[in-house]
Structure 1
Protein backbone atom coordinates (compact mmCIF):
# COMPACT_ATOMS: atom_id res chain seq x y z
CA UNK A 1 0.00 0.00 0.00
CA UNK A 2 1.06 3.58 -0.52
CA UNK A 3 3.40 5.42 1.77
CA UNK A 4 5.79 8.30 1.16
CA UNK A 5 8.39 6.80 -1.17
CA UNK A 6 10.83 9.68 -0.76
CA UNK A 7 11.59 8.43 2.74
CA UNK A 8 13.50 5.50 1.21
CA UNK A 9 15.58 7.48 -1.32
CA UNK A 10 19.29 7.85 -0.50
CA UNK A 11 20.31 11.42 0.25
CA UNK A 12 22.63 11.60 -2.77
CA UNK A 13 19.85 10.65 -5.19
CA UNK A 14 17.94 13.30 -7.09
CA UNK A 15 14.58 13.96 -5.42
CA UNK A 16 11.23 15.20 -6.69
CA UNK A 17 11.68 18.43 -8.58
CA UNK A 18 15.40 17.94 -9.23
CA UNK A 19 16.66 18.51 -12.75
CA UNK A 20 17.63 15.56 -14.95
CA UNK A 21 21.16 14.22 -15.15
CA UNK A 22 23.17 14.93 -18.30
CA UNK A 23 22.23 12.58 -21.15
CA UNK A 24 25.74 11.15 -21.52
CA UNK A 25 25.83 10.16 -17.84
CA UNK A 26 23.02 7.60 -18.05
CA UNK A 27 22.58 4.23 -19.72
CA UNK A 28 18.79 4.28 -19.41
CA UNK A 29 15.90 5.56 -17.32
CA UNK A 30 12.86 3.71 -16.02
CA UNK A 31 9.35 5.03 -15.49
CA UNK A 32 6.38 3.61 -13.64
CA UNK A 33 3.02 5.27 -13.04
CA UNK A 34 -0.03 4.52 -10.94
CA UNK A 35 -3.48 5.57 -12.07
CA UNK A 36 -6.56 6.73 -10.17
CA UNK A 37 -9.21 4.94 -12.23
CA UNK A 38 -9.78 2.93 -15.41
CA UNK A 39 -8.82 5.89 -17.60
CA UNK A 40 -5.13 5.41 -18.31
CA UNK A 41 -4.63 9.19 -18.40
CA UNK A 42 -5.50 9.42 -14.67
CA UNK A 43 -1.89 9.32 -13.45
CA UNK A 44 -1.69 9.83 -9.68
CA UNK A 45 1.94 8.86 -9.01
CA UNK A 46 5.10 8.89 -11.12
CA UNK A 47 8.40 7.21 -10.33
CA UNK A 48 11.50 7.64 -12.51
CA UNK A 49 14.90 6.04 -11.89
CA UNK A 50 18.09 6.63 -13.89
CA UNK A 51 20.72 3.88 -14.21
CA UNK A 52 24.41 4.25 -14.99
CA UNK A 53 26.85 1.32 -15.16
CA UNK A 54 24.35 -0.99 -13.48
CA UNK A 55 23.59 1.19 -10.48
CA UNK A 56 20.99 3.82 -9.61
CA UNK A 57 22.15 7.30 -10.60
CA UNK A 58 19.08 9.32 -9.64
CA UNK A 59 15.48 8.90 -8.50
CA UNK A 60 12.44 11.13 -8.98
CA UNK A 61 9.04 10.56 -7.42
CA UNK A 62 5.93 12.66 -7.14
CA UNK A 63 2.27 12.29 -6.37
CA UNK A 64 0.04 13.81 -9.04
CA UNK A 65 -3.47 15.23 -8.90
CA UNK A 66 -5.06 13.28 -11.77
CA UNK A 67 -7.95 15.75 -12.16
CA UNK A 68 -10.10 12.63 -12.20
CA UNK A 69 -11.94 10.45 -9.70
CA UNK A 70 -10.33 7.66 -7.67
CA UNK A 71 -11.92 4.24 -8.06
CA UNK A 72 -11.97 1.94 -5.05
CA UNK A 73 -10.48 -0.81 -7.23
CA UNK A 74 -7.35 1.23 -7.99
CA UNK A 75 -7.00 2.54 -4.46
CA UNK A 76 -7.07 -1.02 -3.11
CA UNK A 77 -4.14 -1.84 -5.39
CA UNK A 78 -1.79 1.08 -4.70
CA UNK A 79 -3.26 2.67 -1.58
CA UNK A 80 -3.42 6.19 -3.07
CA UNK A 81 -6.66 8.10 -2.51
CA UNK A 82 -7.92 11.59 -3.26
CA UNK A 83 -6.73 13.02 0.07
CA UNK A 84 -3.14 11.95 -0.69
CA UNK A 85 -2.99 14.13 -3.81
CA UNK A 86 -4.74 17.20 -2.42
CA UNK A 87 -2.60 20.21 -3.31
CA UNK A 88 -0.21 18.15 -5.46
CA UNK A 89 0.69 19.21 -9.02
CA UNK A 90 -1.32 17.92 -11.96
CA UNK A 91 0.35 16.17 -14.89
CA UNK A 92 0.59 19.40 -16.87
CA UNK A 93 2.68 20.87 -14.03
CA UNK A 94 5.21 18.02 -13.99
CA UNK A 95 5.31 17.33 -17.72
CA UNK A 96 8.45 19.41 -18.25
CA UNK A 97 10.32 17.51 -15.52
CA UNK A 98 9.19 14.13 -16.86
CA UNK A 99 10.13 15.11 -20.41
CA UNK A 100 13.53 16.30 -19.19
CA UNK A 101 14.27 12.92 -17.65
CA UNK A 102 13.02 10.78 -20.56
CA UNK A 103 13.42 12.70 -23.82
CA UNK A 104 16.22 11.47 -26.06
CA UNK A 105 17.02 8.49 -23.85
CA UNK A 106 16.22 4.81 -23.63
CA UNK A 107 13.21 4.47 -21.34
CA UNK A 108 12.34 1.16 -19.71
CA UNK A 109 8.83 0.27 -18.53
CA UNK A 110 7.52 -3.08 -17.33
CA UNK A 111 4.91 -3.62 -20.06
CA UNK A 112 3.74 -0.76 -22.24
CA UNK A 113 0.97 0.28 -19.86
CA UNK A 114 3.15 3.16 -18.64
CA UNK A 115 3.93 4.24 -22.20
CA UNK A 116 0.22 4.35 -23.01
CA UNK A 117 -0.63 6.18 -19.78
CA UNK A 118 2.03 8.82 -20.44
CA UNK A 119 0.78 9.38 -23.99
CA UNK A 120 -2.84 9.59 -22.82
CA UNK A 121 -1.96 12.10 -20.10
CA UNK A 122 -0.10 14.24 -22.65
CA UNK A 123 -3.20 14.29 -24.84
CA UNK A 124 -5.63 15.04 -22.00
CA UNK A 125 -3.45 17.82 -20.58
CA UNK A 126 -2.51 19.24 -24.00
CA UNK A 127 1.22 18.65 -23.64
CA UNK A 128 3.71 17.51 -26.27
CA UNK A 129 4.43 13.81 -26.52
CA UNK A 130 7.63 12.63 -24.86
CA UNK A 131 10.10 11.50 -27.53
CA UNK A 132 12.07 8.57 -26.16
CA UNK A 133 13.13 5.05 -27.14
CA UNK A 134 11.01 2.52 -25.25
CA UNK A 135 12.19 -0.85 -23.97
CA UNK A 136 9.71 -3.29 -22.42
CA UNK A 137 11.31 -5.08 -19.46
CA UNK A 138 8.64 -7.80 -19.69
CA UNK A 139 10.08 -8.74 -23.09
CA UNK A 140 13.57 -8.62 -21.61
CA UNK A 141 12.56 -10.91 -18.73
CA UNK A 142 10.82 -13.39 -21.04
CA UNK A 143 13.96 -13.72 -23.15
CA UNK A 144 16.36 -13.88 -20.21
CA UNK A 145 14.32 -16.26 -18.01
CA UNK A 146 11.90 -18.16 -20.28
CA UNK A 147 11.50 -20.89 -17.66
CA UNK A 148 9.40 -18.64 -15.40
CA UNK A 149 5.66 -19.34 -15.45
CA UNK A 150 4.92 -15.60 -15.26
CA UNK A 151 6.92 -12.48 -16.02
CA UNK A 152 4.93 -10.06 -13.89
CA UNK A 153 7.06 -7.55 -12.02
CA UNK A 154 6.51 -9.09 -8.60
CA UNK A 155 7.21 -12.62 -9.85
CA UNK A 156 10.45 -11.73 -11.66
CA UNK A 157 11.61 -9.53 -8.78
CA UNK A 158 11.09 -12.36 -6.29
CA UNK A 159 12.94 -14.80 -8.55
CA UNK A 160 15.91 -12.43 -8.83
CA UNK A 161 15.90 -11.31 -5.19
CA UNK A 162 15.08 -7.70 -6.09
CA UNK A 163 13.45 -5.73 -3.23
CA UNK A 164 10.00 -4.52 -4.23
CA UNK A 165 7.14 -2.62 -2.64
CA UNK A 166 4.72 -3.47 -5.40
CA UNK A 167 2.48 -0.75 -6.84
CA UNK A 168 4.59 2.05 -5.43
CA UNK A 169 5.72 3.83 -8.59
CA UNK A 170 9.29 4.51 -7.45
CA UNK A 171 9.86 0.99 -6.14
CA UNK A 172 8.33 -0.55 -9.28
CA UNK A 173 10.56 1.60 -11.52
CA UNK A 174 13.66 0.68 -9.53
CA UNK A 175 12.83 -3.04 -9.75
CA UNK A 176 12.15 -2.91 -13.51
CA UNK A 177 15.54 -1.24 -13.99
CA UNK A 178 17.27 -3.92 -11.95
CA UNK A 179 15.62 -6.60 -14.10
CA UNK A 180 17.28 -5.06 -17.15
CA UNK A 181 20.63 -4.78 -15.33
CA UNK A 182 20.47 -8.44 -14.24
CA UNK A 183 19.35 -9.57 -17.71
CA UNK A 184 22.37 -7.86 -19.28
CA UNK A 185 24.63 -9.62 -16.77
CA UNK A 186 22.83 -12.97 -17.12
CA UNK A 187 22.81 -13.15 -20.92
CA UNK A 188 25.78 -11.01 -21.90
CA UNK A 189 23.49 -9.08 -24.28
CA UNK A 190 24.26 -5.33 -23.98
CA UNK A 191 21.54 -2.70 -23.75
CA UNK A 192 21.76 -2.01 -27.49
CA UNK A 193 21.10 -5.70 -28.16
CA UNK A 194 17.83 -5.60 -26.24
CA UNK A 195 16.69 -2.66 -28.37
CA UNK A 196 17.26 -4.57 -31.62
CA UNK A 197 14.59 -6.89 -32.99
CA UNK A 198 16.06 -10.31 -33.85
CA UNK A 199 16.63 -10.39 -37.61
CA UNK A 200 14.44 -12.88 -39.42
CA UNK A 201 12.88 -14.17 -36.21
CA UNK A 202 9.14 -14.63 -36.33
CA UNK A 203 6.73 -15.81 -33.70
CA UNK A 204 5.92 -19.51 -33.98
CA UNK A 205 2.54 -20.12 -35.62
CA UNK A 206 -0.50 -21.04 -33.58
CA UNK A 207 -1.38 -24.74 -33.43
CA UNK A 208 -4.03 -25.91 -35.89
CA UNK A 209 -7.46 -26.76 -34.44
CA UNK A 210 -8.44 -30.37 -34.04
CA UNK A 211 -11.24 -31.40 -36.44
CA UNK A 212 -13.61 -32.03 -33.53
CA UNK A 213 -13.93 -31.14 -29.88
CA UNK A 214 -15.98 -29.10 -27.39
CA UNK A 215 -14.47 -25.84 -28.67
CA UNK A 216 -14.99 -26.53 -32.36
CA UNK A 217 -16.15 -23.33 -34.07
CA UNK A 218 -14.70 -21.05 -31.36
CA UNK A 219 -12.07 -18.45 -32.14
CA UNK A 220 -9.91 -17.89 -29.04
CA UNK A 221 -7.46 -15.09 -28.27
CA UNK A 222 -5.06 -15.63 -25.37
CA UNK A 223 -3.88 -12.81 -23.13
CA UNK A 224 -0.72 -13.39 -21.10
CA UNK A 225 0.76 -16.31 -23.04
CA UNK A 226 2.01 -16.74 -26.64
CA UNK A 227 -0.39 -18.11 -29.22
CA UNK A 228 1.79 -21.21 -29.52
CA UNK A 229 2.07 -21.73 -25.75
CA UNK A 230 0.75 -24.64 -23.68
CA UNK A 231 -2.75 -23.20 -23.27
CA UNK A 232 -3.02 -22.62 -27.01
CA UNK A 233 -2.13 -26.26 -27.69
CA UNK A 234 -4.66 -27.46 -25.12
CA UNK A 235 -7.45 -25.34 -26.59
CA UNK A 236 -6.56 -26.15 -30.20
CA UNK A 237 -6.66 -29.82 -29.25
CA UNK A 238 -10.26 -29.22 -28.20
CA UNK A 239 -11.16 -27.79 -31.60
CA UNK A 240 -10.59 -24.06 -31.02
CA UNK A 241 -8.94 -21.86 -33.60
CA UNK A 242 -6.28 -19.72 -31.87
CA UNK A 243 -6.25 -16.14 -33.19
CA UNK A 244 -3.59 -13.46 -32.83
CA UNK A 245 -5.82 -10.92 -31.12
CA UNK A 246 -9.36 -9.93 -30.21
CA UNK A 247 -11.48 -9.13 -33.25
CA UNK A 248 -15.13 -8.97 -34.23
CA UNK A 249 -15.29 -12.75 -34.77
CA UNK A 250 -13.48 -13.74 -31.56
CA UNK A 251 -15.71 -15.79 -29.27
CA UNK A 252 -13.44 -16.24 -26.23
CA UNK A 253 -10.67 -14.21 -24.65
CA UNK A 254 -8.69 -16.57 -22.40
CA UNK A 255 -6.79 -14.66 -19.71
CA UNK A 256 -3.79 -16.05 -17.83
CA UNK A 257 -4.49 -15.13 -14.22
CA UNK A 258 -7.37 -15.14 -11.80
CA UNK A 259 -10.38 -12.85 -11.73
CA UNK A 260 -10.82 -9.91 -11.27
CA UNK A 261 -7.57 -9.89 -13.34
CA UNK A 262 -6.03 -6.73 -11.78
CA UNK A 263 -4.04 -4.59 -14.22
CA UNK A 264 -4.79 -6.98 -17.07
CA UNK A 265 -8.01 -4.97 -17.32
CA UNK A 266 -6.00 -2.08 -18.76
CA UNK A 267 -4.63 -4.17 -21.62
CA UNK A 268 -5.88 -3.05 -25.03
CA UNK A 269 -7.06 -6.57 -25.92
CA UNK A 270 -9.04 -6.86 -22.68
CA UNK A 271 -10.65 -3.44 -23.18
CA UNK A 272 -11.53 -4.32 -26.78
CA UNK A 273 -13.22 -7.53 -25.60
CA UNK A 274 -15.27 -5.51 -23.09
CA UNK A 275 -16.27 -3.06 -25.83
CA UNK A 276 -17.41 -5.95 -28.04
CA UNK A 277 -19.47 -7.36 -25.16
CA UNK A 278 -21.16 -3.99 -24.61
CA UNK A 279 -21.98 -3.79 -28.32
CA UNK A 280 -23.77 -7.13 -28.11
CA UNK A 281 -21.09 -9.43 -29.54
CA UNK A 282 -21.04 -12.97 -28.18
CA UNK A 283 -17.53 -12.97 -26.71
CA UNK A 284 -16.70 -14.43 -23.30
CA UNK A 285 -13.79 -13.37 -21.09
CA UNK A 286 -12.56 -16.36 -19.10
CA UNK A 287 -9.61 -17.15 -16.86
CA UNK A 288 -7.33 -20.01 -17.88
CA UNK A 289 -8.55 -22.01 -14.89
CA UNK A 290 -12.23 -21.62 -15.79
CA UNK A 291 -11.84 -22.56 -19.41
CA UNK A 292 -9.80 -25.63 -18.49
CA UNK A 293 -12.41 -26.62 -15.92
CA UNK A 294 -15.02 -26.60 -18.70
CA UNK A 295 -12.84 -28.95 -20.74
CA UNK A 296 -12.12 -31.33 -17.85
Structure 2
Protein backbone atom coordinates (compact mmCIF):
# COMPACT_ATOMS: atom_id res chain seq x y z
CA UNK A 1 0.00 0.00 0.00
CA UNK A 2 1.30 3.44 -0.90
CA UNK A 3 -0.35 6.82 -1.37
CA UNK A 4 0.66 10.45 -1.43
CA UNK A 5 -0.83 13.58 0.14
CA UNK A 6 0.01 17.09 -0.98
CA UNK A 7 -0.82 20.68 -0.16
CA UNK A 8 -0.08 23.90 -2.03
CA UNK A 9 -0.15 27.42 -0.68
CA UNK A 10 -0.59 30.23 -3.18
CA UNK A 11 0.56 33.82 -3.54
CA UNK A 12 -2.37 35.21 -5.57
CA UNK A 13 -5.20 34.17 -7.87
CA UNK A 14 -3.57 33.64 -11.24
CA UNK A 15 -1.17 31.46 -13.23
CA UNK A 16 1.78 29.68 -11.62
CA UNK A 17 0.80 31.05 -8.22
CA UNK A 18 2.30 28.31 -6.00
CA UNK A 19 4.52 29.76 -3.28
CA UNK A 20 5.02 26.53 -1.33
CA UNK A 21 4.33 22.83 -1.56
CA UNK A 22 4.34 19.95 0.90
CA UNK A 23 4.27 16.30 -0.21
CA UNK A 24 3.95 13.32 2.12
CA UNK A 25 4.17 9.67 1.07
CA UNK A 26 2.67 6.95 3.27
CA UNK A 27 2.66 3.17 3.33
CA UNK A 28 -0.71 3.23 5.09
CA UNK A 29 0.87 2.79 8.52
CA UNK A 30 3.39 5.61 8.67
CA UNK A 31 4.91 8.41 6.64
CA UNK A 32 7.85 7.10 4.61
CA UNK A 33 8.86 10.29 2.75
CA UNK A 34 8.36 14.04 3.13
CA UNK A 35 9.25 16.87 0.78
CA UNK A 36 8.69 20.58 1.32
CA UNK A 37 9.89 23.79 -0.27
CA UNK A 38 9.06 27.44 -0.64
CA UNK A 39 8.63 28.38 -4.32
CA UNK A 40 9.16 31.65 -6.18
CA UNK A 41 5.83 32.18 -7.99
CA UNK A 42 5.56 33.72 -11.45
CA UNK A 43 4.87 37.10 -9.86
CA UNK A 44 5.85 38.65 -6.52
CA UNK A 45 2.67 40.72 -6.50
CA UNK A 46 1.17 38.77 -3.57
CA UNK A 47 -2.48 38.97 -2.65
CA UNK A 48 -2.88 40.27 0.89
CA UNK A 49 -5.63 37.74 1.63
CA UNK A 50 -3.47 34.80 0.58
CA UNK A 51 -0.56 35.99 2.71
CA UNK A 52 -2.85 36.51 5.69
CA UNK A 53 -3.96 32.87 5.47
CA UNK A 54 -0.62 31.17 4.83
CA UNK A 55 1.85 33.63 6.39
CA UNK A 56 4.03 33.67 3.26
CA UNK A 57 5.16 37.03 1.85
CA UNK A 58 7.31 38.11 -1.13
CA UNK A 59 10.41 38.48 1.05
CA UNK A 60 10.04 34.81 2.08
CA UNK A 61 10.34 33.53 -1.49
CA UNK A 62 12.34 36.20 -3.32
CA UNK A 63 15.53 34.11 -3.19
CA UNK A 64 13.79 30.79 -3.87
CA UNK A 65 13.73 28.99 -7.21
CA UNK A 66 10.71 28.88 -9.51
CA UNK A 67 8.58 25.77 -9.93
CA UNK A 68 10.55 24.17 -12.83
CA UNK A 69 13.62 23.86 -10.60
CA UNK A 70 11.70 21.47 -8.32
CA UNK A 71 9.87 19.63 -11.08
CA UNK A 72 12.06 16.50 -11.08
CA UNK A 73 11.61 16.00 -7.30
CA UNK A 74 7.86 16.64 -7.51
CA UNK A 75 7.23 14.45 -10.56
CA UNK A 76 9.27 11.58 -9.09
CA UNK A 77 7.02 11.55 -6.04
CA UNK A 78 3.69 11.83 -7.88
CA UNK A 79 4.16 9.89 -11.14
CA UNK A 80 1.98 6.78 -11.26
CA UNK A 81 0.73 7.23 -7.70
CA UNK A 82 -2.54 7.71 -5.89
CA UNK A 83 -2.58 11.27 -4.58
CA UNK A 84 -4.88 12.90 -2.05
CA UNK A 85 -5.52 16.54 -1.26
CA UNK A 86 -8.08 18.29 0.91
CA UNK A 87 -10.24 20.16 -1.60
CA UNK A 88 -8.33 18.44 -4.39
CA UNK A 89 -9.81 20.56 -7.16
CA UNK A 90 -7.86 23.55 -5.83
CA UNK A 91 -4.51 21.77 -5.48
CA UNK A 92 -4.81 19.99 -8.82
CA UNK A 93 -5.60 23.33 -10.44
CA UNK A 94 -2.48 24.90 -8.93
CA UNK A 95 -0.35 21.99 -10.15
CA UNK A 96 -1.87 22.05 -13.64
CA UNK A 97 -1.36 25.82 -13.90
CA UNK A 98 2.33 25.53 -13.02
CA UNK A 99 2.90 22.68 -15.47
CA UNK A 100 1.10 24.53 -18.27
CA UNK A 101 2.63 27.95 -17.60
CA UNK A 102 6.18 26.62 -17.55
CA UNK A 103 5.44 24.08 -20.33
CA UNK A 104 6.65 21.13 -18.27
CA UNK A 105 6.13 17.49 -19.31
CA UNK A 106 2.86 15.72 -18.55
CA UNK A 107 2.57 13.68 -15.37
CA UNK A 108 0.25 10.75 -14.77
CA UNK A 109 -1.46 9.89 -11.51
CA UNK A 110 -4.92 9.44 -10.04
CA UNK A 111 -6.26 11.46 -7.16
CA UNK A 112 -8.94 11.61 -4.50
CA UNK A 113 -10.35 14.33 -2.29
CA UNK A 114 -10.27 13.99 1.51
CA UNK A 115 -13.09 16.53 1.86
CA UNK A 116 -15.46 14.13 0.09
CA UNK A 117 -13.97 11.17 1.94
CA UNK A 118 -14.48 12.93 5.29
CA UNK A 119 -18.11 13.74 4.47
CA UNK A 120 -18.72 10.06 3.74
CA UNK A 121 -17.06 8.67 6.88
CA UNK A 122 -17.51 11.40 9.47
CA UNK A 123 -20.80 12.94 8.40
CA UNK A 124 -21.71 14.27 11.86
CA UNK A 125 -18.88 16.80 12.08
CA UNK A 126 -19.91 20.48 12.14
CA UNK A 127 -17.89 21.01 8.93
CA UNK A 128 -15.27 19.15 6.95
CA UNK A 129 -12.46 21.66 6.88
CA UNK A 130 -9.00 20.13 7.18
CA UNK A 131 -8.40 21.35 10.72
CA UNK A 132 -11.84 20.24 11.93
CA UNK A 133 -11.50 16.70 10.57
CA UNK A 134 -7.86 16.22 11.60
CA UNK A 135 -8.45 17.48 15.12
CA UNK A 136 -11.53 15.25 15.48
CA UNK A 137 -9.27 12.32 14.57
CA UNK A 138 -6.70 13.38 17.19
CA UNK A 139 -4.12 14.90 14.83
CA UNK A 140 -2.57 18.17 16.02
CA UNK A 141 -0.91 20.40 13.43
CA UNK A 142 -0.21 23.96 12.24
CA UNK A 143 -3.00 24.68 9.77
CA UNK A 144 -1.95 26.38 6.49
CA UNK A 145 1.66 25.28 6.93
CA UNK A 146 1.86 23.20 3.78
CA UNK A 147 3.88 20.24 5.06
CA UNK A 148 1.68 20.02 8.16
CA UNK A 149 -1.44 20.24 5.98
CA UNK A 150 -0.12 17.40 3.80
CA UNK A 151 0.58 15.37 6.95
CA UNK A 152 -2.97 16.00 8.17
CA UNK A 153 -4.38 14.93 4.81
CA UNK A 154 -2.30 11.73 4.93
CA UNK A 155 -3.58 11.05 8.45
CA UNK A 156 -7.20 11.41 7.31
CA UNK A 157 -6.62 8.79 4.60
CA UNK A 158 -4.87 6.49 7.07
CA UNK A 159 -7.74 6.88 9.56
CA UNK A 160 -10.26 6.18 6.81
CA UNK A 161 -8.41 2.99 5.84
CA UNK A 162 -8.44 1.89 9.49
CA UNK A 163 -12.13 2.75 9.91
CA UNK A 164 -13.24 0.85 6.80
CA UNK A 165 -10.73 -2.00 6.90
CA UNK A 166 -9.83 -1.28 3.28
CA UNK A 167 -6.69 -3.10 2.10
CA UNK A 168 -5.41 -0.03 0.23
CA UNK A 169 -6.30 3.49 -0.89
CA UNK A 170 -7.92 2.38 -4.14
CA UNK A 171 -10.19 -0.05 -2.31
CA UNK A 172 -10.99 2.69 0.22
CA UNK A 173 -12.31 4.90 -2.57
CA UNK A 174 -14.48 2.09 -3.96
CA UNK A 175 -15.81 1.20 -0.51
CA UNK A 176 -16.88 4.80 0.04
CA UNK A 177 -18.55 5.09 -3.37
CA UNK A 178 -15.91 7.28 -4.97
CA UNK A 179 -13.73 7.05 -8.04
CA UNK A 180 -10.15 8.16 -8.34
CA UNK A 181 -9.84 10.88 -10.98
CA UNK A 182 -7.08 11.07 -13.55
CA UNK A 183 -4.95 14.19 -13.32
CA UNK A 184 -5.22 16.16 -16.55
CA UNK A 185 -3.91 19.46 -17.88
CA UNK A 186 -5.71 21.62 -20.42
CA UNK A 187 -2.80 22.55 -22.64
CA UNK A 188 -2.85 25.71 -24.67
CA UNK A 189 -5.34 27.45 -22.42
CA UNK A 190 -5.21 31.20 -22.71
CA UNK A 191 -2.17 32.14 -20.63
CA UNK A 192 -2.72 35.27 -18.62
CA UNK A 193 0.11 37.54 -17.63
CA UNK A 194 0.91 37.38 -13.94
CA UNK A 195 -0.61 40.19 -11.87
**Matched residues, number:** 175
Which residue of structure 1 aligns with residue 96 of structure 2?
119
Contact 1:119 1:129 in 2 (8 A): no
Structure 1: give runs of 5+ residues left out of the alignment: 1-25, 202-296
What TM-score, normalized to structure 1? 0.56
Which residue of structure 1 aligns with residue 172 of structure 2?
194
Which residue of structure 2 aligns with residue 32 of structure 1?
7
How far, CA to CA, are the matches of 2:7 and 2:151 in structure 1? 9
How far, CA to CA, are the matches of 2:28 and 2:6 in structure 1? 18
After superposition, give the CA deviation of every residue in 1:232-276 in whole Å (9 maximum; x if it has no partner): xxxxxxxxxxxxxxxxxxxxxxxxxxxxxxxxxxxxxxxxxxxxx
Which residue of structure 1 aligns with residue 192 of structure 2?
none
> Greater CA radius of gyration, 1 or 2?
1
What TM-score, normalized to structure 2? 0.84
Which residue of structure 2 aligns with residue 185 of structure 1?
162
Which residue of structure 2 aligns with residue 105 of structure 1?
81
**Pairing 1:10-29 to 2, within 5 Å after superposition:** 27-29=2-4
After superposition, give the CA deviation of every residue in 1:140-180 in whole Å (9 maximum; x if it has no partner): 11111111121110110111111121111100000000000
Contact 1:35 1:74 in 2 (8 A): yes
How far, CA to CA, are the matches of 1:177 and 1:140 in structure 2? 12
Which residue of structure 2 aligns with residue 135 of structure 1?
112
Q: Following superposition, which runs of at least 4 residues in structure 1 exceed 6 angstroms of deviation?
A: none
Instruction: Say whether 1:73 aligns with 2:46.
Output: no
Q: Aligned in 2, Cα 1:106/1:87: closer, same or farther, shift over 3 Å?
A: same
RMSD of aligned C-alpha atoms?
A: 1.7
**Structure 1 position 189, deviation (Å):** 2.8
How far, CA to CA, are the matches of 1:197 and 1:134 in structure 2? 16
How far, CA to CA, are the matches of 2:143 and 2:9 in structure 1? 11
Structure 2: give runs of 5+ residues left out of the alignment: 179-195
